[in-house]
């Protein structure tokens, strides 16, 4: 078996993904989302920026269409020549090499026996010292798009260092990461070698079995995985506890230890036994969530901090606000508002769209003009992002602070209202999940906010106005979904207040 850096990275993030990538049926994968390709393009730009800034005189392998074995040999030739900086080198260690007598006499065994290993560090940097090549050695640099030196990045960097140690018969004292924005971060090899050894042993054990690792659905981690639909279908068939909002991997393990294995068993479990594990408040919250899922029925949370019938009481004019942003360019390019007039029974969508990032200030002023026209109307939105964006744009474009404070006082965050006041039979409390359960559906099925980011990039690149039309349609539906959620909440809590 060939153990690669990408396989190891997948395993550190999700053992099941690594297993399926190696043994799964590719026809069961989801179609790759455009956002993944966009991330790859961003990563290429980031790497190019690193090279231009720090290593403009790097040297590449002399050929590109050869096998990785030939590329590994070419990499070692460049190392023997003492090239200062090698870009896109290949590190290959077969079992015979990693098991050599010379190597085992000089270093503890880290790589499990019986496997070949392949690593593709972005850079190999020459340093004074000793190796089989002479009075120099190499250490690896990995370049990542993230803004934090994540554990999985450090693990793979240590893997590169171990491969280098075998190839050059000298262990590099460090490995380096370069994350955004052009930030260097050292990896303590001594600290990470034992962790690498443990992960590798676990990885090869799992990958050589015939059984798929257990499923666990985590919204953030699984969001872009191409095995998501396949795993999610299994989780649903099992009534898997990871589909209960609030069940983290550690809580999942604790619930398993007391025999709670499904959503139904969590709903029916003795509450006192769960309280002993995680305290009264969390135990009650998780069991109520499981009960709501099993019976497909909403539940009001006891002791809500809001008087929702009063907060959500109908006004003649109500505004529903949603934003589309492009994080890489740090621009909020669409400020969408649906103005609801309950007297005339009209809903009008106002899309303030920056067709170029430089127009952000223009649409901010247009947005202010609209919301100030309805000076006392509440502004409903979903999540903290709208609030944070108003603060950012107000500061950036020097809007008077009293005007910003008045605007902020009109905001009503329906996400916060929901999570503190009601339990719904959903797997997560995103706007899409909530609105879909309530019967609202976006006109473009299967589309999420990251697709809008891709559409905006396509518009800027190609000038295709159909991309803008798709973004506007999606944003309007976000506003209308927020309206749909607000109306349902008002009706639900008004009935509770009336019955009490």
Residue with tokens 């395993």: 11
For the ranges 5-19, 214-228, 314-328, 486-500, the lowest mean pLDDT is seen at 486-500
Query: Pairing between strand 422-423 and 85-87?
Result: unpaired
| pLDDT at 223 (0 to 100) | 87
| pLDDT at 97 (0 to 100) | 59
The per-residue pLDDT for range 233-246, each reduced to its tens digit, is 999 999 999 999 99
Q: Is the pLDDT of residue 248 over 60?
A: yes
pLDDT confidence tier of residue 417, bands split at 50, 70 and 90: very high
Q: How many CB atoms lie within 10 A of CB 130?
A: 12
| pLDDT at 105 (0 to 100) | 47
pTM of the model: 0.89
Domains of the chain with CATH codes: 2-207 (3.90.320), 239-297 (1.10.150), 310-499 (3.30.420.10)
| pLDDT at 63 (0 to 100) | 75
The per-residue pLDDT for range 266-284, each reduced to its tens digit, is 999 999 999 999 999 999 9
Task: Answer with the residue of higher pLDDT: 109 or 307.
Answer: 307
pLDDT confidence tier of residue 264, bands split at 50, 70 and 90: very high
Mean pLDDT of the chain, nearest integer = 93
| pLDDT at 65 (0 to 100) | 65
pLDDT confidence tier of residue 102, bands split at 50, 70 and 90: very low
The per-residue pLDDT for range 128-184, each reduced to its tens digit, is 999 999 999 999 999 999 999 999 999 999 999 999 999 999 999 999 999 998 999
The per-residue pLDDT for range 459-496, each reduced to its tens digit, is 999 999 999 999 999 999 999 999 999 999 999 998 87
| pLDDT at 473 (0 to 100) | 97
The answer to whether 176 and 141 are in contact (CB under 8 A) is yes
pLDDT confidence tier of residue 101, bands split at 50, 70 and 90: very low
The per-residue pLDDT for range 280-297, each reduced to its tens digit, is 999 999 999 999 999 999
Average pLDDT score over residue span 420-431: 96
The per-residue pLDDT for range 326-335, each reduced to its tens digit, is 998 999 999 9
Q: Is the pLDDT of residue 104 over 60?
A: no
| pLDDT at 113 (0 to 100) | 85
């Amino acid at each position: 078996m060939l153990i690669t850096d990408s396989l190891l990275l997948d395993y550190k993030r999700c053992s099941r993904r690594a297993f399926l990538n190696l043994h799964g049926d590719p026809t069961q994968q989801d179609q790759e989302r455009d956002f993944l390709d966009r991330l790859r393009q961003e990563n290429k730009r980031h790497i190019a920026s690193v090279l231009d800034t720090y290593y403009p005189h790097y040297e590449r392998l002399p050929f590109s269409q050869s096998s990785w074995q030939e590329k590994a040999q070419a990499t070692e030739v460049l190392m023997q020549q003492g090239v200062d900086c090698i870009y896109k080198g290949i590190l290959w260690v077969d079992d015979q090499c990693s098991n050599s007598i010379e190597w085992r006499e000089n270093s503890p065994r880290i790589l499990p026996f019986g496997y070949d290993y392949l690593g593709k560090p972005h850079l190999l940097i020459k340093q004074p010292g000793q190796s089989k090549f002479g009075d120099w050695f190499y250490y690896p640099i990995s370049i990542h798009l993230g803004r934090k030196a994540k554990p999985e990045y450090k693990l793979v960097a240590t893997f590169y260092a171990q491969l280098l140690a075998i190839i050059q018969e000298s262990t590099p004292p460090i490995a380096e990461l370069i994350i955004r924005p052009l930030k260097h971060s050292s990896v303590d090899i001594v600290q990470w070698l034992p962790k690498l050894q443990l992960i590798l042993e676990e990885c090869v054990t799992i990958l050589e079995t015939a059984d798929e690792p257990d499923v666990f659905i985590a919204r953030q981690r699984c969001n872009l995985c191409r095995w998501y639909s396949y795993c999610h279908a299994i989780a649903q068939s099992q009534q898997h506890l990871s589909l209960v909002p609030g069940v983290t991997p550690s809580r999942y393990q604790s619930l398993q230890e007391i025999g709670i294995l499904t959503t139904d068993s969590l709903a029916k479990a003795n509450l006192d036994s769960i309280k002993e594990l995680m305290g009264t408040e969390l135990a009650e919250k998780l069991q109520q969530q499981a009960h709501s899922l099993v019976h497909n029925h909403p539940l009001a949370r006891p002791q809500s901090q809001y008087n929702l019938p009063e907060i959500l009481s109908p006004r003649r004019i109500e505004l529903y606000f949603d934003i589309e942003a492009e994080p890489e360019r740090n621009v909020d390019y669409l400020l969408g508002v649906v103005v609801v007039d309950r007297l005339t029974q009209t809903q009008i969508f106002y899309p303030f769209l920056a067709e170029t990032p430089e127009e952000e200030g223009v649409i901010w002023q247009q947005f202010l003009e609209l919301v100030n026209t309805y000076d006392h109307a509440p502004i409903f939105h979903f999540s903290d992002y709208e609030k944070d964006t108003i603060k950012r744009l107000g500061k950036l474009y020097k809007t008077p602070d009293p005007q910003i404070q008045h605007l902020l006082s009109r905001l009503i965050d329906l996400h916060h209202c929901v999570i503190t006041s009601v339990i719904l039979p959903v797997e997560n409390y995103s706007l899409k999940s909530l609105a879909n359960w309530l019967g609202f559906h976006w006109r473009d099925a299967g589309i999420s906010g990251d697709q809008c980011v891709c559409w905006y990039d396509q518009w800027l690149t190609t000038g295709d106005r159909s991309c803008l039309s798709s973004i506007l349609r999606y944003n309007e539906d976000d506003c209308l979904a927020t309206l749909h959620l607000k109306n349902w909440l008002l009706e639900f809590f008004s009935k509770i207040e009336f019955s009490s």
